Structure 1
Amino acid sequence: MTDLLALLRYKMPSAAWIIDIQASRVCCSNAAAKALLSDSLHDIESGQRVIEDELKVRLSHYLETLEVGDALPFKWPFTGNDGAQYHVSGSVVALDDGHKGVLCEAHPSIGASVSTPSVVPAFCPLTQFETLSFAMFDLNGHFIDASAYFVASFGDIQHIRDLFAHAGAANSFMTRFSQQNSLSQEIRLSSLAGVRWHTIEITYNSTDQTAYLLTQDIQEKREHEIALYRLNNYDGLTNLPNRNLLYQQLESAFDNARRRDRQFGLLYVDLDSFKVINDNFGHRVGDELIQRVAERLKDNIPTRACLYRLGGDEFVVVLENTRDVAELESIAESIMQNAGNTYPVAGMEMMITASIGIASYPQHASDVDSMLKNADVAMYRAKSMGHNMYVVYQNTMSDNSNAYLTLGGSFRKAIDEEQFVLFYQPKIRLPDEVVIGAEALIRWVHPELGMISPDSFIPLAEESGLILPLGEWVIRRACRQLQEWREAGYAPITISVNLSSRQFMQADLVDMVRQALEDTGVDPQYLELELTESMLMADAQQSIEKLHSFRKLGLTLSIDDFGTGYSSLAYLKKFPIQTLKIDRSFIHDLGIDGDNDAIVKATIAMANGLSLKVIAEGVESRSQIDSLNGYHCQEVQGYLFSKPLPDVEFRAFMQGYVASPSCSKGVLLQ
């Protein structure tokens, strides 16, 4: 309180006093205030003057919301002993005990006669200030005197301009001060501790033509505000702007696009099967992978595009002033092309792809929420169609999205009630075209919606984690089916089952398969597991160990959709697999597209050289069969022979499709 009292005495020749709201009293005042308020501030020297309850309540309300240095948002009139009119203004000050008080200043009303005494000391003992950074300057800005605290903060100051970090700031400040008698602002000053944020208050005393400057270091307060801003608006893991800033940019983008008749759009990016990595490797590995993905995304989008992380494994890319949707598609293609490069994470080489949804203004949405929702819907459509894909939003997708959510609510019940069935698509041996196996494909027989394809519910199973119990059900049902066919007297054939990436990462997968085989009594050689290249390459070393464990059980292993992933030949030799399954995208134009022919021929030759069996999927024509026979492909499957069939129809197919005694090819008996 000593420094505040000294400030009242030497800084302010006008009447000034300080109200301690918490103690309900006027705690100090200068001589001018004592003279002006002598009738109302009796006993002021003893500190017994108590303020009225009404004033205390009013001022307390403002102290709760204002910071030190802030002015009260109102002024009040006052009539002096001599009848002169004054208006009183207030500002918030810090008292010695840490709480806040109100500094009141009385100024003569315009046109009023003033007889209030003004006390100006013959000397100003500024060295007595221990906690206030206070200095005096002449009207030209030359240094006169300062408190010890000020000198300790700013050193040897010759001119007020020496305080400012930038000459432009000093010029602006001096110009503004020349136009008004007092000034208060937050600004960066050059202190002995470096350039730091301060609040400065400067007052001109016309009596002695001196400028009084009070400074307060608020660097820590500013840093706290910045830290709080970053906490609220930036992702702590990737340092990318978060959902809050995304909404701000989208609001601004909509406003600009409407006013200037422009287009803009966004990409909603969701990583494929990221939960599998978190569940099996832990969140530390998952967090590091997210950081690597964020870095690569930033490198693969235009410099004028903005990248945001919404949380989890979701990102959004915003691009303003686009010409058309093709610009957004180009970004999506760039992201997908770079998904093939592995990420070095926790000493492993991991690979992860993304599903991307695209929405644009004005084609697909007219407000922020619709834009994000529609891009999200398009992303889920891409995820349902396969990994590492993008989809541009279409209006019909909203209806499908509602149906998708409806399915999600009844999915767990469907597992409990075994609403799922397996269909079987025959595998045909070449060149004699005899049925030697089948691929098990799951279907959902919904009690109200009827038959639902896996494209509609497998993404639900992946996201919810129910893919694990569903995958176990498929394996056990396939084993029981093999046993039922054997007991019915059918020749032994192989059933292949697709494993999801999350299921493959399941720690007890080998034990679960072993138990299913033991419970059903099935010979392991007739159960084949199909895995994708990306699944195996997510952690190649762990994949090799798990595949060897399956081989010890006697299972057959196959790489599904071969040619669409990114495995190297070096790893291909290390994987203990028996079969390569060529993706249907290469078979579709066989005999038409020379590049596809070359790829298929080379793949089969390579597989034969590694003693691997090759099966081509998606066969739909005799010309494709002729080409595959010519390349020495061992097996095929596709609609040329049969679509996926339920158990009863598949048994009929096996009975009708037998080897002809007159030729080497099988015939379908009618």
Structure 2
Amino acid sequence: MIERPNILSPKISQSTWVVDIERASISWSNKEAKWLFSHFFNGDDLSLFSIDERLLLRLQNFAKSQPDGASLPFIWPGSDTGQERVNCIGTLISLGGNHKGVSVKVQSLTVNDTAVVDRVSGMTCSSFDMVQCFNTLPMAVFDGKGVSVEMNDSFSSRFGRVEKIEELFVVSSAAHSMIDMLSNKSLLTQEIRLSTLRGVRWHQIEVCYQASSDRVFFLAHDIQEERDHEIVLYKLNNYDPLTQLPNRNLLYSQLERALVNARKRGLKFGVLSLDLDGFKVVNDTFSHRVGDELIQQVAERIKSTIPQSACLYRLGGDEFVIVQEHATGMDELTAIADTVIKHSIKPYPVSKMEMMITASIGITCYPEHGESIDNLLKNADAAMYRAKSISHNSYCIYDAAMADTIRAHLTLGGGLRKAIEEEQFELFYQPKIRLSDKATVGAEALIRWMHPELGMISPDQFIPLAEESGLILPLGEWVIRRACYQLKEWREQGYPSISLSVNLSGRQFMQSDLVEMVSQILEETGVDSRYLELELTESMLMADAQQTIEKLHAFRALGLTLSIDDFGTGYSSLAYLKKFPIQTLKIDRSFVNDLGFDNDDDAIVKATIAMANSLNLKVIAEGVENHSQVDVLNSYNCEEVQGYFFARPMNNSDFSVYMDSHLMGQTTLLAVH
């Protein structure tokens, strides 16, 4: 028997044969090919030689996708012993008509190749048989220069016909870098983006270099879905789903980096805590869907107004934080706050309404206002609460005294339920004056918290807490009951009858049994319903127009007077205003302040009074503080006013003294209904 050589002899190198793809047979061969098959593949008659099924399938696919003359490198399967592998190059030719064939020429023959263990299946395979060990995972073999030698069907169906290894990589230099790394170690595992027939996708690759054959074995596993899943999880954990802004997790990450950088380089950075004013009322009045839409628009506007170097975060609800690294000083931080506040007063188009919502901002700067992240954030919150308590749509810079404000805020929240149980509240009364004769015809009931330790607390401080906690419902019921008992007391004391108005909160108005509760209190106190007036805001009425109309008619059936408070600042529609059984409009103090000095305010007030008169509605102007405002309102035929020019809110005792001096001798003091 002739020894099977490990190097190519002239007979082997000149071997050529033709594969008839359609008939799956060798249709022609030269004498060198016959010699090769008889000595290595035990085939005497090549026309009867059985071609390997996997090789035949690959040649068929090649013929379907390529033109005549195209070449394909492949390995001709060896003998049953599995020791011989023939490296071939095939050229696609025509055998007549659509009949295709492949002209095969031998390039090299390897005998007794080094065995390699397949890491996936555990099978022992020779290097040239390695590709066939993987049926589902894409695998290819390249020579030491990165030229393609062999690939399995899974590889070609994913990547197409790859001639050189750099064609796989999005960045071709990555291929050369990989080959350089393989010179130092035989196996390399890496996650990298590869170019596929479906586009660029992430893969985990295992690359093995076999020095004995100068071959690179390339195994690829598509991990794009895993990467996509990781990205989704990352976004869920680190971004707010409503606004797509980074959340608290990324805020702390940035602040930690900023703190390290600032300490190392002696830099400053600023933290601005931002909270919307009255956002809970929007949610309770209009629904969370409307609130969400408003939050999205607010986030977009803030993001578009702050510097590109600043980062905006949403912590949840209506809480936002702005971080400005490398701040030059407090002037830069206050300029950011000024810009946000300036743009927040512009209306937001939400659900076919023009909504207006402002912001309160607290500012801290490292290292002046805290040397840790938690202290900077806490102090920024304290400054924000101070801004909110002083005036909405404003900012405050932190100072040490503000920490007491936060503690007081938390103390009030904890003591509110106890205060309701122990009736620590008191009603104050502000007179309503009829302009035509300056007669006192009514009063507005205003709640005050008489805290046993902190003294009198204004509604601005505890009403938001009551709204947040839900305690506004029992507190609101207490106010209505106390107002009715006060009317009863005044009647029993012999004072002429006057009307008393009570403000309803948005959450209270949405209470399903509100009408029944008010009816029960009227019956309990025996008060004439004509003298109880309920004040409602425009936004409250527009939350659910149809349900509002039904509830208002139910109140009118009880005989109550209904008033729209702060008219002109909300979102009411004149079309609905005609349908609401309202008797009174209260012009907001913001329009009264500059009467006689601001032509726009004059025009608004005059038009409002004229409209109300045409609808047979009474008009009350609140916030009247000087004689010139009285004169202007009188000239516009405004019926009633209230404000510090006539009297401040008074407790029961002082209001009784006021009535003794203002009501005695008056004949008819009933409010005009």
TM-score (norm 2): 0.72
CA contact (8 A) 1:349 1:539 kept: no
- CA separation in 2, counterparts of 1:577 and 1:512? 20
Over 3 Å counting, the alpha-carbon distance change for 1:132 and 1:570 in structure 2 is: closer
Corresponding position of 1:332: 340
Any conservation in 2 of the 1:352–1:538 contact (CA below 8 Å)?
no
Q: 2:363 aligns with which of 352, 359, 362?
A: 359
User: What's the CA shift for 1:626?
Assistant: 2.9
2:465 pairs with 1:460:
yes
Match of 2:626? 621
8 Å CA contact retained: 1:154, 1:192: yes
Q: C-alpha separation between the residues in 2 aligned to 1:94 and 1:319?
A: 52
CA contact (8 A) 1:165 1:195 kept: yes
Q: Distance in 1 between matches of 2:356 and 2:471?
A: 21
Match of 1:268 in 2: 274
1:498 partnered with 2:506: no
- Give the residue type in structure 1 aligned to 2:337: E
Distance 1:557 1:461 in 2: 24
Counterpart for residue 14 of structure 2? none
Q: How does 1:346-385 map to 2 (within 5 A)?
A: 351=355, 353=357, 355-362=359-366, 364-384=369-389
Which residue does the alignment assign to 1:26? none
| Cα deviation, residue 406, structure 1 | 0.9
Corresponding residue of 2:488: 483
Q: 1:303 to 1:507 in 2, by over 3 A?
A: farther
Bigger drift between 286-295 and 123-132 goes to 286-295
| Distance in 2 (alpha carbons) for counterparts of 1:602 and 1:409 | 46
Q: Which moved more, 1:261-270 or 1:493-502?
A: 261-270
Whole-Å separation in 2 of the counterparts to 1:573 and 1:318:
48
Q: Which residue pairs with 1:197 in the alignment?
A: 202
Please state how far the C-alpha of 1:559 moved relative to its aligned partner: 2.0
Partner residue in 2 for 1:343: 350
1:231 aligns with 2:216: no
SS in 2 for 1:623: helix
Structure 2 distance, partners of 1:285, 1:490, is 47
Q: Radius of gyration: which is bigger?
A: 2
Q: Match for residue 654 of structure 1?
A: 659
The alignment covers a number of residue pairs equal to: 546
Once superposed, what is the RMSD of the aligned Cα atoms?
Answer: 3.6
Indicate conservation of the 8 Å contact 2:380/2:398, yes or no.
no
Distance in 1 between residues matched to 2:552 and 2:615, nearest whole Å: 17
Deviation at residue 353 of structure 1 after TM alignment: 3.0
Aligned positions of 1:563-582 closer than 5 A: 563-582=568-587
Cα distance change, pair 349–146 in 1 and its aligned pair in 2 (3 A): same
Task: Return the letter of the residue paired with 1:358.
Answer: G
Separation in 2, partners of 1:571, 1:300: 36
**Residue aligned with 2:241, SS:** coil
Q: CA deviation at 1:481?
A: 0.9
Identify if the C-alpha distance between structure 1 residues 325 and 165 changes in structure 2 by more than 3 Å, giving closer, same or farther.
Answer: closer
Question: 507-516 vs 258-267, which deviates more?
Answer: 258-267
Q: In 2, Cα distance between the equivalents of 1:549 and 1:644?
A: 30
Cα pair 1:351 1:537 within 8 Å, conserved: no
Measure how far apart 1:356 and its partner are: 2.7
Q: Is the 8 A contact 2:389 2:460 kept in 1?
A: yes
2 CA distance for matches of 1:366 and 1:613?
A: 58
Q: Is the 8 A contact 2:354 2:571 kept in 1?
A: no
2:125–2:133: 8 Å Cα contact kept in structure 1? no
Return the offset for 1:629: 2.3
Cα offset, 1:460, TM superposition: 1.1
- 511-520 or 269-278, larger mean C-alpha shift: 269-278
Look up the equivalent residue of 2:344 and give its one-letter code: M
Give distance in 1, aligned partners of 2:119 and 2:387: 60
| Change in CA separation of 1:120 and 1:292 when aligned onto 2, cut-off 3 Å | closer
- Is 2:316 the partner of 1:311? yes
Partner of 1:277: 283
Mapped contact 2:240–2:314 kept (Cα < 8 A) = yes
Residues 283 and 436 (structure 1), Cα distance of their counterparts in 2 relative to 1, 3 Å cut: closer
Aligned position for 1:54: none
1:546–1:350 CA distance, 2 compared to 1 (3 A) = farther
Query: Cα offset for 1:149?
Result: 4.5
CA contact (8 A) 2:503 2:536 kept: yes
* Kept after mapping to 1: 8 A contact 2:432/2:443: yes
Q: Name the CA distance, whole Å, in 2 between partners of 1:190 and 1:438.
A: 78
Rounded to whole Å, the distance in 2 between the matches of 1:208 and 1:159 is 18
What residue number does 1:40 align with? Answer: none
Deviation by residue 1:385-426 (Cα, 9 ceiling, x = unmatched): 57x634324423321121111111111011011111111111
Whether the 8 Å CA contact 2:502–2:534 is kept in 1: the answer is yes
Cα distance change on mapping 1:521 and 1:588 into 2, 3 Å: same
Give the secondary structure class of the aligned counterpart of 2:213: coil
Task: Please give the alpha-carbon distance, in whole angstroms, between the structure 2 residues aligned to 1:382 and 1:574.
Answer: 39
Which of 590, 597, 607 does residue 595 from structure 2 map onto?
Answer: 590
When structure 1 is superposed on structure 2, of 129-138 and 459-468 the one drifting more is 129-138
Higher deviation after alignment, 633-642 or 249-258: 249-258
Aligned with 1:405 (options 397, 410, 422): 410
1:389 pairs with 2:393 = yes
Q: Does the CA-based 8 Å contact 1:359-1:365 persist in structure 2? A: no
CA distance in 2, matches of 1:559, 1:320: 47
1:614–1:302: structure 2 CA closer, same or farther, 3 Å change rule? farther
2:523 equivalent to 1:515: no
Displacement of 1:476: 0.9
Distance in 1 (CA, whole Å) between partners of 2:260 and 2:550 is 56
Aligned residue for 1:513, secondary structure, equals: helix
| Residue number in structure 2 paired with 1:14 | none
Distance 1:538 1:636, change over 3 A: same
CA shift, 1:232, in A, is 1.4
Structure 2 counterpart of 1:220: 225
User: 1:644 aligns to what SS in structure 2?
Assistant: coil
Tell me the secondary structure at the aligned position of residue 570 of structure 2.
coil
Give the aligned partner of residue 130 of structure 1.
Answer: 135
- How far the C-alpha of 1:140 sits from its partner, in A, is 1.1
The Cα shift of 1:520 comes to 1.5
CA distance in 2, matches of 1:349, 1:595: 22
Gaps of 5+ in 1: 1-92, 104-118, 666-670
- Unmatched tracts of structure 2, length 5 or more: 1-117
> Amino acid of the residue matched to residue 365 of structure 2?
Y
Partner of 2:423: 418
C-alpha distance 296-541 of structure 1, shift in aligned 2 (>3 A) = farther
Q: CA deviation at 1:287?
A: 5.4
Q: Any conservation in 1 of the 2:271–2:380 contact (CA below 8 Å)?
A: no
Taking structure 1 as reference, are residues 505 and 267 closer, same or farther at Cα in structure 2, changes over 3 Å only?
same
Instruction: State the TM-score, normalizing by the size of structure 1.
Output: 0.72
Distance change >3 Å, CA 465–CA 497, structure 1 → 2: same
Distance 1:354 1:627 in 2: 30
Q: Secondary structure at the match of 1:124?
A: helix
Q: Deviations for 1:570-594, whole angstroms, at most 9, x for unmatched residues?
A: 4433433222222233333434445
Q: Tell me how far apart the structure 1 counterparts of residues 356 and 473 of structure 2 sit (CA, whole Å).
A: 20
Residue by residue over 1:168-188, the C-alpha shift from the partner in whole angstroms, topping out at 9 and shown as x without a partner, is 544544555567655332101
Matching of residues 158-177 of structure 1 within 5 Å = 158-174=163-179, 176-177=181-182
* Contact 1:272–1:352 (8 Å) recurs in 2: no
Q: Which amino acid aligns with 1:389?
A: N
Cα distance in 2 for partners of 1:94, 1:579 equals 85
Provide the secondary structure at the position in 2 that maps to 1:564.
coil
**2:194 matched to 1:186?**
no
SS of 1:506's equivalent in the other structure is coil
Q: Give the direction of change, closer, same or farther, for the CA distance of 1:613–1:480 in structure 2 (3 Å limit).
A: same
